[in-house]
Amino acid sequence: MHPVTDAMRELSGETSTAVSTPPDDRPPTAPARPRGRRALVAGGVLGVALVISLIASASIGQFHTSPSEVLSSLYNGLIHGVDPSRSQVDGVLWSIRFPRAALAALIGASLAVSGAVMQGVFANPLAEPSIIGVNAGASVGAAIVFVFGYSQTAVWSLPLAAFLGAVATAFAVWGLSRVGGTASVLTLILTGIAVNAVAVAVTSFLIFMGDRSSREQVIFWQLGTLAGARWPDVGVTAAVFAGGFAACLAIRRQIDVLALGDTAASSTGVSVERLRFGALILVSILTAVAVAFAGVIAFVGLIVPHALRLAVGPSHRYLVPLSALGGAVLLSVADIAARTVVPFADLPIGIFTAVVGGPLFLVMLRRTLSGYQLGR
């Protein structure tokens, strides 16, 4: 078995079913039922939390609306058609708050699902989409648009440039990491570090070359924001997420096999190279569309799958769908905080995901390492 995979799996506290032997008085499939029950409970809790957070997101703000007004406006819009001019409440909800709440949930789900798949592909619970340069590449695209003034020429110039930069960087990492026709986990990580460094340097150079206004725009965009969310943004993000999420669900069982190591996974009939390439493409697209419309948002793709793994186990059968719910809840709550912590100010949402995600991740990391050492 590959030593890098062994070390990563030891860090996460996971063991391969190929080498572990269940107790004599317990059938091998016995742990599946408790995990399934825990996943069902977690899904129910996250589903309720998502509904509550979405209603709260639409209710809370400088223009206060009650939850009953939110539900009434939503019902009338779905049944009788949307008419923002019907009342001031409808205008605020359908023009500003509903698209922002929907975009926050979709972007959070995209980032969390990307993180779950990424951690499975790398067999490492510390992995996240930024490893393959998606965030850094998107920053280069955004910096080009702001510094050269393209953001004033077309509405879609910024998200399109960020999306193309993210995908192009991910493809560059994959192409440069291939040695002898294959790309191992170790070479992907090392290549990602190098490409990230180059992309950050390019972004820094563009910021240096820009004027004061463009510098501020790039820096603010890199902190992440959902200000100015529009229904077309929601439609594009929803379409990309739906396709990417369905594809991730289709390969989630194969991702579990990668925990055995490349050699063992190949012996089961899984095309490791093709699976890893397809998974990275899905992660790149899901993360790119999220970054394109919201800027760089840290820790969602790292913290959500890691927390759920501790709760329901390492199986991607549960992790992928639960990560979508968990990411949507986390970013919805972070967006509420961004709009309400400072009166009459819309703070960058990335600040809150980092403030919550950083300490929480340290706690979970220490818990994981402590459990691993006790197990030894």
More confident position, 372 or 38: 38
Query: How big, in percent rounded to 5, are the helix, strand and coil portions of the chain?
Result: 75, 0, 25
> pTM for this structure?
0.85
Among 66-80, 103-117, 166-180, name the most confident range: 103-117
Rounded Cα gap, residues 4 and 172, in angstroms: 23
Q: Structure tokens of 91?
A: 């205008």
Q: What percent of the chain has pLDDT over 70?
A: 88
* pLDDT-based confidence at residue 329 (cuts at 50, 70, 90): very high
Check: CB of residue 309 under 8 Å from CB of residue 125: yes
| pLDDT of 3 above 50 | no
More confident position, 186 or 304: 304
* pLDDT-based confidence at residue 41 (cuts at 50, 70, 90): very high
Quote the radius of gyration of the chain (alpha carbons, Å).
Answer: 22
pLDDT at 195: 93
Rounded Cα gap, residues 135 and 354, in angstroms: 15
Which of 25-34, 210-219, 296-305 is least confident? 25-34
pLDDT at 9: 44
Rounded Cα gap, residues 202 and 71, in angstroms: 47
pLDDT in tens, 271-301: 888 898 899 899 999 999 999 999 989 889 9
Rounded Cα gap, residues 2 and 12, in angstroms: 16
Please report, for the chain, how many H helices and E strands are present, in that order.
Answer: 15, 0
**How many Cβ atoms from other residues are within 10 Å of residue 367's Cβ?**
12
Place of tokens 């967006």: 335
